[in-house]
Amino acid sequence: MKSKLLRSFTLFLTLILISGMVLACQVPVFRYALERWMPDPYKLAITPGVSGAFSPDEQAVIDFLKSQKPDPRAESGVFANLAIEIGAGASASVSGASMSIFYPEKVRGFATKPIWEGALTLENAKRLVDSPARREIVKRLLLGQSAIWVMVESGTATADDAAAATVTASMPEAIASLKVPEGVLTPQQAESADNFAAVNADDVLRSEVPLKIDFSLIRIKRDDPAEALLLPMLLKIEDDLGEYASEPMVFPVFGRGRILEPLIGKGIRNENLLEYATYICGACSCEVKDQNPGVDLLIAADWDTALHGSEVVLEKILPPLEGTGVFAAAGDPVAKAVEGQGNVAAPMPVVATGAAPDAIGFPLMTILLTTTAVIGVIAVGTIFLLRRKSP
């Protein structure tokens, strides 16, 4: 009887998992993340100096930072994923006000440990919310690139050049071998479908950004002052990355600036790069953002305006911020270089291979399936207990 119940229970769970896989979203992970995953906010803790009060200059910095955080009343705008907490106490060791930046609270293990601490100055505040590398990342993502390989250099030219060459050489193979999953629809295709009611809304794109398989490389020096506050966001994602400061590191960045754990030194190999690319370009098997790997970067951009329009308007999503190394929107050579590259939508589906946890999405149908599974488990458990109690 026990083996019979076990077989029935196994069959029941298998059917539930198969149902979830059938309903899985076909939009690639990188595009689903770009259109539907809101970046988690970094916490910025501001503490006054020994006087316990903020000077006029310090208050001006606070006002600037407040203008960068999201305003729930605004329909759109250039906002950084930033949450500000201003302390009431005074610092006993620092004459001026200070600020500490923390990873988003949803990131495991980092809730109480700052990734950077420094003086509350306008220069630091501007570098916190914006930098040349992040502007370039936003531009390339909104041009339709699947992911950007961000390489933090070691400082040893031979090692850095070799790592960059490996990354660059891996791109043509990834572009040639990976395809956009079958079943992805544009809004126009969904509206003209023979059976519109049967169209899964999760398979429909929400913007006119080109859908293609495409990658590029950005190199950052460890001592670049313009990236002084971006680097901690990358290099503190794992507790032990400081032990590998002499090695180049490559971070995949996709969506709205979501990074994955880096490939380091000898781990920067073609097969590892292809594995990451396969996950990023595969069908989004888990639509719940927090159940996917990665951490969001702190970026100031008007993602929604860019995605809802028919064109990428860089002047709107990246307005000039003084002292941050502004890129020209018109006639930009990088934008021209990445435009039109990559593998445009093709019929062959790709499934991620071990880079992300298998999970079922979270639309209404999945809720119903989950509820059914729970009821089934309870029912089977109850039957099993009754059988055990029977003489």
- Tokens standing for residue 67: 């203008």
66-81 burial, b at 16+ Cβ within 10 Å, e below that, comes to: eebbeeeeeeebbbbb
- Cα separation, 148 vs 138, in Å, equals 10
How much helix, strand and coil, in percent to the nearest 5, is found in the chain? 40, 15, 45
Query: What pLDDT score does 204 carry?
Result: 76
Structure tokens at 223: 């001592």
Give pLDDT, residue 200. Answer: 66
Gap between the Cα atoms of 125 and 220, Å rounded: 20
Q: Coil, strand or helix: which one is 264?
A: strand
- List b or e across 289-324, with b for residues whose CB sees 16 or more CB atoms inside 10 angstroms: beebebbbbbbbbbbbbbbeeeebebebbbeebeeb
* Rounded Cα distance, 315 and 304, in Å: 14
Nearest alpha carbon to residue 199 among 214, 213, 188:
188
Gap between the Cα atoms of 287 and 275, Å rounded: 20
CA distance 338 to 145: 8
126 by Cβ neighbours in 10 Å (0-12 / 13-18 / 19+) ranks as buried
φ and ψ at residue 264, rounded to 5 degrees: -125, 135
Paired with 150 in beta bridges are: 218, 251
DSSP tag of 283: B
CA distances from residue 119 to 82, 96, 114, 263, 285 in whole angstroms, order as listed: 18, 7, 14, 32, 43
Instruction: Determine how β-strand 215-220 pairs with β-strand 147-152.
Output: parallel
Report pLDDT for 199: 62
Residue 201's pLDDT is 73
- The amino acid present at 145, given as its one-letter code, is Q
Per-residue confidence (pLDDT) for residue 349, from 0 to 100: 26
Distance CA 148, CA 153 (A): 15
Residues in contact with 166: Cβ distance below 8 Å, sequence separation at least 6, in sequence order: 268, 269, 270, 273
What separation, in Å, do the N-terminal and C-terminal C-alpha atoms of the chain show?
A: 14
Helix pair 157-177, 270-281: axis angle to 10 deg: 50
Tens-digit pLDDT profile for residues 320-361: 544 333 333 333 333 333 333 455 433 222 222 223 322 223
Q: Of 254, 330, 325, 329, which Cα lies nearest the Cα of 294?
A: 254
Helix (H) or strand (E) holding 191: helix 187-191
Q: How far apart are CA 135 and CA 112, in angstroms?
A: 28
Output the six-digit token pair for 385.
Answer: 């207990």
User: What global pTM score does this model have?
Assistant: 0.74
What span, in angstroms and rounded, lies between the C-alpha atoms of 281 and 91? Answer: 47
Residues in the chain where the model's pLDDT stays below 70: 1-24, 72-77, 88-94, 107-111, 187, 193-200, 285-290, 309-391
Tokens 């064109």 found at: 311
